[in-house]
Amino acid sequence: MEKLTGLKKFKTAVFISGTGSNLKNLIKFSKIKKTPISINLIISNTNKAKGLKYANQFNIRKKIFNFQNLKNIEKKILILLKKEKISLICLAGFMRILSKNFIKKFDGKIINIHPSLLPKYKGLNTHEKAIKNKDKYGGCSVHYVTSKLDSGKIILQKKVKITAKDDFISLSKRVLKEEHKLYPAAILKIFN
Ligand code: GAR
């Protein structure tokens, strides 16, 4: 990533599908003094994403795409990203898979947060899998997005101890708290 110079902020788009707690946290992070990013665009694949409320709350442009015709939609998204001069995409609970072509166009500039200690448990139901396998630790990872699902280079990871009392709800709550620290830390790392 380019070095951070002076007051220049990297315009960022956050892609969401759901609650948007990571989005809210990234918006908070984009307002602190040492932040390298500004959040200029929120993209969702559904108008049901609760996180869209943060677009209104923080006065950030939002756009909803249904992602049914992926090629067509991605073309539109690329035009929008260019228009908004976006240089970083943060996936934050975004539950759609982007095409190889799209990822290539934004090569090295798309990052994702995933609720497991990658390369363990790519895909869905990560906490259930960690508990079922009696793992000592769950956790989260921030990684670069490549065309292989949840497989790009890891930027940062955080372990979370799994106790005998944990079910996937209690574990996911504790991991989510760590996600909120890890995502900003990973962004600071890539820009420094
Ligand atoms: C987070 O736990 C995130 O790691 C996960 O979805 C949740 C979204 O929460 N992402 C994935 O599973 C991506 N494969 P949020 O909407 O409150 O940020």
Find out whether 38 and 26 touch, Cβ atoms under 8 Å. no
Q: Which domain holds residue 46?
A: 10-191
pLDDT at 3: 56
Structure tokens, 26: 């990234």
Residue whose CA lies nearest to ligand 1 atom number 10? 93
pLDDT at 8: 82
Spatial separation of the C-alpha atoms in residues 99 and 43, rounded to whole Å: 16
Q: How many CB atoms lie within 10 A of CB 85?
A: 10
Q: Is residue 49 part of a domain?
A: yes
**Any residues with Cβ below 6 Å from ligand 1, and which?**
16, 18-22, 51, 92-93, 113-115, 176, 179
Q: What is the DSSP string of 41-97?
A: EEEES-TT-GGGHHHHHTT-EEEE---SSHHHHHHHHHHHHHHTT--EEEESS--SP
Q: Point out the residues that are catalytic.
A: 114
Query: Running DSSP on this structure, what letter comes out for residue 107?
Result: T
Per the rule left: phi > 0, alpha: psi between -120 and 50, beta: everything else, 187 is alpha
Which CATH number is 37's domain given?
Answer: 3.40.50.170
pTM: 0.96
Spatial separation of the C-alpha atoms in residues 10 and 35, rounded to whole Å: 9
- Say how many domains are in the chain: 1
Q: What spacing in Å lies between the alpha carbon of 109 and ligand 1's midpoint?
A: 19
Q: What spacing in Å lies between the alpha carbon of 3 and ligand 1's midpoint?
A: 28
Residue whose CA lies nearest to ligand 1 atom number 7? 93
Q: Is residue 114 part of a domain?
A: yes
What is the number of the ligand 1 atom nearest to the C-alpha of 115? 4
Spatial separation of the C-alpha atoms in residues 112 and 97, rounded to whole Å: 11
Q: Is residue 179 part of a domain?
A: yes
pLDDT at 1: 62
Q: What spacing in Å lies between the alpha carbon of 6 and ligand 1's midpoint?
A: 32
Q: Which of 21, 28, 53 most suits a substitution to test ligand 1, by most atoms within 8 Å of the C-beta?
A: 21
Q: Is residue 77 part of a domain?
A: yes
The pLDDT averaged over each successive group of 10 residues in the chain (192 residues) is 67 98 98 97 98 98 95 97 98 97 96 98 98 98 97 98 97 98 98 91
Q: Is residue 81 part of a domain?
A: yes
Q: What spacing in Å lies between the alpha carbon of 5 and ligand 1's midpoint?
A: 31
Segment holding 174, helix H or strand E: helix 168-191
Q: Is residue 25 part of a domain?
A: yes
Q: Is residue 100 part of a domain?
A: yes
Q: Is residue 1 part of a domain?
A: no
Spatial separation of the C-alpha atoms in residues 69 and 185, rounded to whole Å: 35
